[in-house]
Each structure stands twice: as structure tokens, then as C-alpha cells.
């Protein structure tokens, strides 16, 4: 048995940005990508050509190749596997998935189809078809449950041999209070925080008055120097990064280089 020392390799950027619509997720993803990891990126745009509004301001044609996914493509789980394979085989430095919440819709579609498939398989002659979507989350002989396909894609992203940045939209968190539904906050469209554990950096994009804020005060993520930090107006359009923006670039850069280990 032989024991040897191991020189840690440079970390890959695995970043998830959460936030409401128009809270700066896409802009922040583009800025961090091109400034932290220079080189040519791939962008999978699930937002209906929304990324094109950044062509001039962020000089996308100089550093990014883009694919505008249709709704059906964005909900097709194979789309993400194909994108990962393509970026790994290419000279691109990383993959940005803008609108990764469509992946969750694809998982839900898969669960519904799997539930119907199992219901038909179990249906007895003359009996009503009983569809159980809860059961369809678990694996069964001859079929993959929702949890399996969900975890498989997330694992592929976390293990991708290139840098990965994804943006995820938040949705209203409603609860039944005093006889009526009330909004009590915001939550990811995904049903739980499971997906966040696959990403080493997780930031929440918010607005505070006229200011854009990136909040790393989350229980997820491995970069301790980012946890509990808020960064304001980091990347003004057509201007150099603000003081907060420079710090937001410096901390992940040092973390990737392991210079702070």
C-alpha cells in the first residue's frame, strides 16, 4: 500500500444564481463568466432569445456561442446531457444555462408520463385507471422515477469537466393562512434545496430600492468567504465593476485557484 501527496487542482466554477425575473441573474452570470474565466463559452438560452439583449452591452459575439432552445427543448432532459457532452468535447471553457428552472418542468413532465405508464401497466380489466404521481418519483422495474432523472442531470452538471453557471427563477411561496392563500415569500421553482447542494457557489439576486444585490447569505455553497456577504451594484452596464464587483470577482477567483486554502 502506497500513500502519496496530492497537489490540488484548480477548482472549476460551479455557480447557481437564483432570483426573480429582472433581478439581474443573466447579467451577473455573463459578467462573472467572462471576467472570471476568459475564453469562449457556450450558452444554452431557455428564455426565448432573452440573452440577445446583452449582445452589444456584453459583447457576446466575441466570447460566446449561443443556442436558443425552444420550450420543448428546454423541458427535454436530453437537451442538458447533449449540452454537457458538447461543451466537454469542445474547446469552450464552460457552459451557461440561462433559465435552468425549465429543467424542473421537464422532470415534472417525465413524472407524469411515468405515472401514466405505470398506471396502464397495473390496470386490471374493467377497473378505472388510477394514476399515482407520488409513486412515479421512485424507481420501479422497467422505469426510472423522477428522483433518479432529477439527480442524474444534476450530478452530470456538478461533475462536468468544464465550468458551469446556471440561473434559476424564483416563484411565489404561498401558504393557506386564515382561510385564504397568501404569499409569504419566495422559493425556487424546484421543490427543495437538493439541487443547490450540487453547486459550490450559490447566490441570490435581489433588488433593494434601485440597487441590485447579490446575497450569499445562504446555507448552500462551499466558499466560506462568500457566505454572509452582500454585494451591491456589482457590474454597472458600460462601466467597470464597482468596488463590490471587484471583490465579488476576487473571492471566487482566489477560491478557484485555491490560493486561500
- Bridge-based pairing state of the strands 201-208 and 94-98: unpaired
Residue 109 lies in a domain: yes
pLDDT in tens, the chain (261 residues): 777 766 667 889 999 998 888 888 999 999 999 999 999 999 999 988 788 888 888 889 999 999 999 989 998 889 999 999 999 999 999 999 999 988 888 888 888 888 888 888 888 888 888 888 778 788 776 668 777 888 888 889 989 999 999 998 876 554 445 555 455 455 555 544 555 667 888 888 888 777 888 988 666 677 888 888 889 988 887 788 899 999 999 999 998 988 765
Residue 5 lies in a domain: no
The alpha carbon of residue 36 and the mean position of all alpha carbons in its chain are separated, in whole angstroms, by: 18
| Residue ranges making up the domain that contains 147 | 27-169+187-199
For the stretch 35-84, pLDDT in tens is: 999 999 999 999 887 888 888 888 899 999 999 999 899 988 899 999 99
Residue 178 lies in a domain: no
For the stretch 89-100, pLDDT in tens is: 999 999 999 999
Residue 215 lies in a domain: no
Residue 247 lies in a domain: no
Show the cell assigned to 155: 450530478
Number of domains comprising the chain: 1
Q: How far is CA 221 from CA 198, 213, 225, 252, in A?
A: 9, 18, 10, 12
Residue 153 lies in a domain: yes
Amino acid at each position: 500500500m502506497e500513500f502519496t501527496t496530492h497537489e490540488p487542482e484548480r477548482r472549476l466554477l460551479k455557480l447557481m444564481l437564483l432570483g426573480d425575473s429582472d433581478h439581474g441573474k443573466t447579467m451577473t452570470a455573463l459578467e462573472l463568466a467572462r471576467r472570471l474565466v476568459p475564453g469562449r463559452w457556450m450558452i444554452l438560452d431557455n428564455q426565448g432569445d432573452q440573452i440577445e439583449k446583452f449582445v452589444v452591452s456584453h459583447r457576446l459575439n466575441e466570447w460566446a456561442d449561443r443556442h436558443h432552445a425552444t420550450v420543448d427543448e428546454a423541458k427535454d432532459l436530453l437537451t442538458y446531457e447533449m449540452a454537457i457532452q458538447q461543451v466537454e468535447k469542445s474547446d469552450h471553457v464552460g457552459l451557461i444555462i440561462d433559465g435552468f428552472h425549465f429543467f424542473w418542468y421537464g422532470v415534472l413532465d417525465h413524472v407524469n408520463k411515468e405515472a401514466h405508464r405505470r398506471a396502464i401497466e397495473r390496470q386490471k380489466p374493467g377497473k378505472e385507471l388510477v394514476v399515482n404521481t407520488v409513486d412515479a418519483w421512485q424507481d420501479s422495474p422497467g422505469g426510472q422515477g423522477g428522483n433518479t432523472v432529477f439527480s442524474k442531470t444534476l450530478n452530470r452538471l456538478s461533475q462536468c469537466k468544464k465550468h458551469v453557471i446556471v440561473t434559476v427563477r424564483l416563484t411565489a411561496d404561498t401558504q393557506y393562512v386564515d382561510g385564504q392563500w397568501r404569499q409569504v415569500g419566495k422559493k425556487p421553482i424546484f421543490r427543495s434545496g437538493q439541487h443547490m447542494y450540487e453547486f459550490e457557489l450559490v447566490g441570490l439576486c435581489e433588488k433593494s430600492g434601485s440597487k441590485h444585490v447579490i446575497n450569499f447569505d445562504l446555507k448552500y455553497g462551499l466558499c466560506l468567504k462568500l457566505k454572509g456577504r452582500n454585494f451591491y451594484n456589482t457590474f454597472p452596464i458600460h462601466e467597470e465593476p464597482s468596488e463590490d464587483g471587484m471583490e465579488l470577482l476576487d473571492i471566487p477567483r482566489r477560491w478557484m485557484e485555491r490560493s486561500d486554502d
